[in-house]
Amino acid sequence: MRIITRTPPADEPRDWRQILADSFRDINSLLRYLEIDTHPAARALLASDSFPLLVPRPFAQRMQRGNPDDPLLLQVLPQASELETAPGFVADPLAEKHSNIRSGIIHKYQGRVLLLAATGCAVNCRYCFRRHFDYQNNRIGRKEWQEALDYVRSDISISEVILSGGDPLMLSDEALNELLMLIEDIPHISRLRIHTRLPVVIPQRLTDTFIRNLNNSRLGTSVVLHINHPQELHDLHAAPLQALRSGGTWLLNQSVLLNGVNNEAGILRQLSEALFSYGISPYYLHMPDRVAGTHQFDVSEQDALRLYRDLRSVLPGYLVPQLVRERAGVPFKSVMADC
């Protein structure tokens, strides 16, 4: 497997918002750019009506030209199969609506709370577990943060705030810092975790300001990147990740096990080794959630366990992520046993 890295040309926009604005937004222009000579099926175009294609150029640059089965492309390319129904695949498989106790807050784990800091993303992943989520009623801006955080303030059993979304790094550095300060102001919060895929698809999102603000926080900080394939790591990630780490922010990764993308022990082994070389600890390997429109990515539990055994046999324990499945109504992730 070839890991593609590329130094951007001097005239490439450096600001992440410009890069995001210049993303691919339709199937044909992405396929043309990748020199893939196929016409998308009409039903694939239909699938992109309800959940549009969105692919930033730095992510597209890591795809292999001429390869319709490129593992990065398969994560973002709308497919006709998304319109099929499949038994057991539903809009809200984790029943998040029950733990979405108020706008912008999901409280399903003891001691931790999710704050939906932003409702958009920089990339639309076809396997997304929140692709049918009620973002409309969870759109909270700066004006509503204080109200949402009043909930956190009122429950002293909560010690960790998890910024989720959408992607919380869609916020500007200024807005993020404002939010960070509001959270720091709650005495019983000791940890802040940020779940994000944005720097994976636009490495320039790891700005000096973001790194400095996070590293200067009084809170114990961690960033959980969502990287599914070793090809997603880029030489542009190295310096900012190193700066985050050396400033005291813990770097973790969670991947989703995706049929056709990373469901081979060899790929997962390369991913863990690449993560280690960037100072990121493999944390979770998630079974894909059974979300309507995503059945083409599903991997059976039997196959996942077989693959996991293979992975454990070739890696030291600290490079093996936990294989987990989230189940509706269970207040923790279920670790899948391999014995």
Question: What is the dihedral angle through the alpha carbons of 303, 305, 307, 312, rounded to the nearest 10 degrees?
Answer: 180
Q: Which residue in the set 57, 62, 108, 130 belongs to the binding site for ligand SF4 (CB under 6 A)?
A: 130
For residue 126, the minimal CB distance to ligand SF4 (Å) is 9
**Which residues, at least 6 apart from 249, have a Cβ–Cβ distance to it below 8 Å?**
211, 214, 215, 221, 222, 223
Cβ-contact 219, 191 below 8 angstroms: yes
Q: Which residue in the set 36, 63, 106, 125 belongs to the binding site for ligand SF4 (CB under 6 A)?
A: 125
Query: Judged by CB under 6 A, does residue 121 bind ligand SF4?
Result: yes
**Which residues, at least 6 apart from 192, have a Cβ–Cβ distance to it below 8 Å?**
160, 161, 162, 163, 180, 183, 217, 219, 220, 221, 222
Of 232, 233, 319, nearest in space to 276 by CA: 319
- Which is closer to ligand SF4, CB of 118 or CB of 268? 118
Cβ-contact 106, 99 below 8 angstroms: yes
Query: Judged by CB under 6 A, does residue 128 bind ligand SF4?
Result: yes
- Which is closer to ligand SF4, CB of 108 or CB of 226? 226
Give the C-alpha separation, 217 to 229, whole Å.
31
Q: Which of residues 239-298 bind ligand SF4 (CB under 6 A)?
A: none
Instruction: Specify the pairing of strand 250-256 against strand 112-116.
Output: unpaired
- Which is closer to ligand SF4, CB of 92 or CB of 167? 167
List Cα–Cα distances, 195 to 165, 226, 227, 288, in angstroms: 8, 7, 11, 17
Of 6-14, 24-32, 123-131, 308-316, the segment contacting ligand SF4 by CB under 6 A is: 123-131
Total residues interacting with ligand SF4, rule: CB under 6 A: 11
Query: Judged by CB under 6 A, does residue 197 bind ligand SF4?
Result: yes
- Which is closer to ligand SF4, CB of 167 or CB of 232? 167
Q: Which residue in the set 124, 217, 255, 262 belongs to the binding site for ligand SF4 (CB under 6 A)?
A: 124
For residue 312, the minimal CB distance to ligand SF4 (Å) is 26
Angle at the Cα of 311 from the Cα atoms of 308 and 313, rounded to 5 degrees: 115
Of 122-130, 185-193, 294-302, 318-326, the segment contacting ligand SF4 by CB under 6 A is: 122-130
- Which is closer to ligand SF4, CB of 197 or CB of 269? 197
Of 225, 231, 179, nearest in space to 58 by CA: 231
Query: Judged by CB under 6 A, does residue 319 bind ligand SF4?
Result: no
Specify the residue for token string 């997304």. Answer: 128
Query: Judged by CB under 6 A, does residue 62 bind ligand SF4?
Result: no
The single-letter DSSP state of residue 250 is E
Query: Judged by CB under 6 A, does residue 234 bind ligand SF4?
Result: no
- Which is closer to ligand SF4, CB of 115 or CB of 123? 123
Query: Judged by CB under 6 A, does residue 82 bind ligand SF4?
Result: no
Strand partners, 225: 196, 253
- Which is closer to ligand SF4, CB of 134 or CB of 310? 134
Of 117-125, 144-152, 294-302, 309-317, the segment contacting ligand SF4 by CB under 6 A is: 117-125
User: Per-residue DSSP letters for 192-218?
Assistant: EEEEESHHHH-GGGS-HHHHHHHHT-S
Query: Judged by CB under 6 A, does residue 114 bind ligand SF4?
Result: no
Q: What is the binding site for ligand SF4 (CB under 6 A)?
A: 121, 123-125, 128, 130, 165-167, 197, 226
